[in-house]
Amino acid sequence: AATHCLIIDVDLRSHENNLVHHTWEIDRERLIVRRGQPFSITLQFSDSLPLRHHLELVLHLGKRDEMVIKVQKERGAGDKWWFNQLETQGEILLTLHSPADAIIGSYRLAVLLMSPDGHILEEMDKFKFHLLFNPWCKDDAVGLPDDSLLQEYVMNEHGAIFMGAWDNIKSIPWNYGQFEDNVMDICFEILDNSKDALRNSKMDIENRSDPVYVGRIITAMVNSNGDRGVLTGRWQEPYSGGVAPYRWTGSVPILRQWSNAGVRAVRYGQCWVFAGVACTVLRCLGIPTRLITNFSSAHDVDGNLSVDFLFDENFKSIDGRGRNDSSWNFHCWVESWMMRDDLPKGNDGWQVLDPTPQELSDGEFCCGPCPVTAIKEGNLGVKYDAPFVFAEVNADVIYWMVQQDGQWKKIRVDQSGVGRNISTKSVYGDQREDVTLHYKYPEGSTKEREVYEKAGRRATEPSNLITEPVQVQLSIKHPNPVFGTDFDVIIEVRRNEGGRDTDAQLTMLATAVTYNSLPRGDCHRKKISVNVPAHQTHKEVLRLHYDDYVKCVSGHHLIRVKAFLEVQGENEPIMAVANIPLSTPELLVQVPGKAFLQEQVTAHISFTNPLPVPLKGGVFTAEGAGLLQATEIPVDGDISPGQNVSVKLSFLPMRTGVRKLLVDFDSDRLKDVKGVATVVVRKRYTPLIMGFH
């Protein structure tokens, strides 16, 4: 006969469990734990358990209970869930142990009270908890045995993203916000909306124990190509019907917008936005992740491990039937830490994951996880997408002239121009850490050339190139100009050898380009005859005016200058290329005084218009993990040249700790102006009066 209700209360002990499982920042009320690490819950009984009655625990996973797991009563094999119990004064302390390769996700726990003959006398199944990857557990595939790395690559909600050019690197702050309200739920919503989950939810749930599988799903789902993904990419204006990529300062508004719109893609992203969102999702799920910037990054469309640029005989670029190789000024992806059984020994755990939609991989727009070590060693047979990633950091750049008879003539080969200053944020602050040597041996070293051969690269045959020493050298020198000013670019022609003076034709071309090489129009073109005297340098000045370049320059303010020199009596023209990023001013963001939890703080934001023209439609956007949700402050009226604008912003900090307030300024002519301030949020302790609170 059924007894009266014995189980009267259950305490999931969320506070204590979340604290030791490093999930305290995500939520204090819900139970969120990490796999491979025990957690305890308490059951209260109205009476002590009748003799020989016992408890059984059953776990349910999936929206339709696709998986049911019976928790064993005592420690079994290491790959099973098990529990033990401790009974004291009408309470039972249950400690659950999950395997280090358990499935991540949302679990429902049923507690069954069983009679000696195996009948269910009572059942309570209202308990829900979330299980995440556990980088603190050495047996978990994402286990990372270094506390400072865990602090940075899992727990840090603030980042710095490097961009610009390899010889002029700047950084912008980024708010990952992986522990902000609802972000974890949105991360699981992303997994639930993948093609695999919609096709076969039981199989998808089983695969969620594997970080390689989860990482691959996330890179496919961060872009919206071919699925219900988060972000739509767009690489040139207009950005109508959405937000221009350079206006975002963090991932949280993007993730919330996607979820609130009923999993409709958010417009628009470019590589650093895709990478920023992927970093948020992976860190939130417990996979250690860092954002990487590769300068002079090759996009090899045809898979021949070289990037081919074509010109006609007037040095105008030729479109290769819409399938152009390109060299991006910079390109961002993420590296996640996961040990893989399918790799030979000697591979560490860093894997490249690239969520920017570029080329298909097994029919999906995703890339990776690809082991960084495999790229360095030229082992291109490993999964996933190793040849593509290898080309991004190692391709040769070849410039060809297509002659009128259709023949291709090689003008210049650059074997060391791709994959420079590969960068990530340091564990010890916002400064840059160079990780180029993780991806390749020193440029030009014997070992690096051996890796080329091993990777199946055909070394560029020197027979196509001029083998005798180059008698004339061409170089481009430029300042670090500020957007809004006129500036000079100097093209130098130097003759090394003796002998007679030489006549030559010099063509100089300044083109505005996007950071991923889409030409935006010519700002200046000049062709002149020059005389190159022996042992001397001839200088030509190309003056670039704001009024000319502002018409075509993109949001990235990048100008590419090319110079071609056709020397009399020489077969091939000589060529030089320089990328010139135009710098923009910074915002001044100050937060005076001390900041306390849930007490008003005021930030002062100011900006001076550096341009010779007024700015219209100015708007500041501020956000910060633990400080405030994304907030817009429009500027009244136009901002005239040299005018200073300052605004105040008040908010109530939501979480304690070292926080970053990120501000972006946008207007019709000046975009992507960023500023940041550090805010330390404390708890205010009220003194106890007479020993009572």
The tokens describing 523, both together, are: 């700002």
Residues 511 and 618 in one domain: no
Residues 567 and 608 in one domain: no
Distance CA 693, CA 380 (A): 66
Active site residue 354: yes
Domain membership of residue 462 (yes or no) is no
Active site residue 4: no
DSSP string, 59-110: EEESTT--EEEEEBSS--STTS-EEEEEEETTEEEEEEE--TTPPPEEEEEE
pLDDT at 471: 75
Domain membership of residue 441 (yes or no) is yes
Residues 541 and 613 in one domain: no
197 three-state secondary structure: helix
Which residue among 97, 331, 478, 557 is the active-site one?
Answer: 331
**Partners of 397 in beta bridges:** 307, 414
Residue 628: in which H helix or E strand, if any? strand 628-634
Count of structural domains, the chain: 4
Residues 401 and 330 in one domain: yes
Domain membership of residue 225 (yes or no) is yes
Which residue among 271, 279, 284, 523 is the active-site one?
Answer: 271
Residues 570 and 594 in one domain: no
Please say whether the beta carbons of 506 and 489 come within 8 A: no
Show the domain range for 101.
7-132
**pLDDT above 80: residue 599:** yes
Q: Residue 443, annotated ligand binder?
A: yes
CATH at residue 354: 3.90.260.10
Q: 34 falls in which pLDDT band (50, 70, 90)?
A: very high
* Whole-number Cα distances in Å, 174 to 156, 162, 284: 11, 10, 15
* Whole-number Cα distances in Å, 273 to 157, 232, 285, 296, 416: 15, 10, 19, 18, 28
- Report which of residues 47 and 475 the model is more confident about: 475
Domain membership of residue 242 (yes or no) is yes
Judged by average pLDDT, the poorest of 330-334, 354-358, 620-624 is 354-358
Q: Which of 581, 609, 634 is where one domain is finished?
A: 581
**Residue carrying structure tokens 């009563």:** 73
Active site residue 523: no
CB count in 10 Å sphere of residue 490: 13
Q: Residue 207, annotated ligand binder?
A: no
| Burial (CB count within 10 angstroms: exposed 0-12, middle 13-18, buried 19+), residue 614 | middle
Residues 205 and 78 in one domain: no
Mean pLDDT for the chain overall: 91
pLDDT for 317-331, tens place per residue?
887 545 578 889 999
Q: Residue 204, annotated ligand binder?
A: no
Q: Residue 123, annotated ligand binder?
A: no
Distance CA 692, CA 689 (A): 6
Residues 389 and 362 in one domain: yes
pLDDT at 344: 73
Residues 6 or more apart from 321 whose CB is under 8 A from it?
Answer: none
pLDDT for 50-92, tens place per residue?
788 899 999 999 998 999 999 998 887 668 999 999 988 779 9
pLDDT at 459: 43
Which residue among 325, 354, 666, 672 is the active-site one?
Answer: 354
pLDDT for 133-167, tens place per residue?
999 999 999 999 999 999 999 999 999 999 998 98
Residues 255 and 332 in one domain: yes
Residues 280 and 397 in one domain: yes
Distance CA 639, CA 671 (A): 14
pTM of the model: 0.92
Distance CA 150, CA 156 (A): 9
Counting residues of the chain whose pLDDT is more than 70, the rounded percentage is: 94
Please say whether the beta carbons of 81 and 71 come within 8 A: yes
Q: Which of 68, 102, 132 is where one domain is finished?
A: 132
**Residue carrying structure tokens 């005297």:** 533
Mean pLDDT on 561-580: 89
Domain membership of residue 686 (yes or no) is no
Distance CA 335, CA 251 (A): 17
pLDDT at 689: 64
Residues 572 and 602 in one domain: no
pLDDT for 515-537, tens place per residue?
888 888 889 999 999 988 888 88
Domain membership of residue 140 (yes or no) is no
Q: Which of 519, 548, 581 is where one domain is finished?
A: 581
Domain membership of residue 137 (yes or no) is no
Residues 357 and 401 in one domain: yes
Distance CA 457, CA 443 (A): 15
Residues 506 and 636 in one domain: no
pLDDT at 690: 59
Domain membership of residue 548 (yes or no) is yes
CATH at residue 558: 2.60.40.10
pLDDT at 498: 63
